[in-house]
Amino acid sequence: MHIEPGVVDGAKIILSYATAAVGFGLTAKMAADGLRDNGGLPALALRSLATTALVFCFFEVLPHHPVGVSEVHLILGSTLLLLFGAGAAAIGLAAGLLLQGLFFAPFDLPQYGMNVTTLLVPLWGINLLARRIIPRRTAYVDLKYSQALALSTAYQGGIVAWVAFWALYGHGFTAENLGNVGAFGLAYMSVILLEPLIDLAVLAAAKSLRQFSRGPLFNNRLHQPA
């Protein structure tokens, strides 16, 4: 989902500062909810360090390929949310993306506002969705495939929608631009199909290794109903 340099430039990039500010506001809200309901400040800090390290590794180690107007990544946003909570997942996505830009991809820094918006706003959306589709009596380790698929599809769909918005905002509705957006969206279908399986595999591992997946490092909801 890294927006390619030049997709949005000039004065148009100012909009990304505003959308990023909204994304950071949503992150603050999710983090505040975690402070209140999910272990307090020590747990949030520990989980945020874990998610930052994981996101950095996702971006640097896992396969990623340029397609059309952006890159196809296995971001595992829904996995991070389920394991560590929405606040820590949001902080990790923003911080991991920034660290990658600062140390390995400085050419991506001008696009940071667009990229962080593309990550954070869909995460906020699936945080709300999880509250609606996962009963309060259900621990996350007991999720069904249909629920994991809904979260992953919503998150990846949100990413595709934001990438399409930035591309169309930057270069309009030309045939070439529409083709590039379509190619990116089609390539992302592989991620949408794969991520729910990863979610369920990770949750199954957490369930079988519950002696290691309890405690302040992990989301309280992982093993406990709300």
Question: What token pair was written down for 135?
Answer: 């009963």
* Full-model pTM: 0.94
Q: How far is the CA of 91 from the CAs of 50, 120, 156, 201, 220, in angstroms?
A: 10, 9, 18, 24, 17
* pLDDT tens readout for residues 173-200: 999 999 999 998 888 877 777 888 888 8
Mean pLDDT across 200-219: 90
| pLDDT greater at residue 33 or residue 4 | 33
Task: Say what the pLDDT of residue 73 is.
Answer: 81
Nearest one of 163, 176, 67 to 117, comparing CA atoms: 163
Q: What is the pLDDT of residues 43-80, one digit of tens each?
A: 999 999 999 999 999 998 887 778 878 888 888 999 99
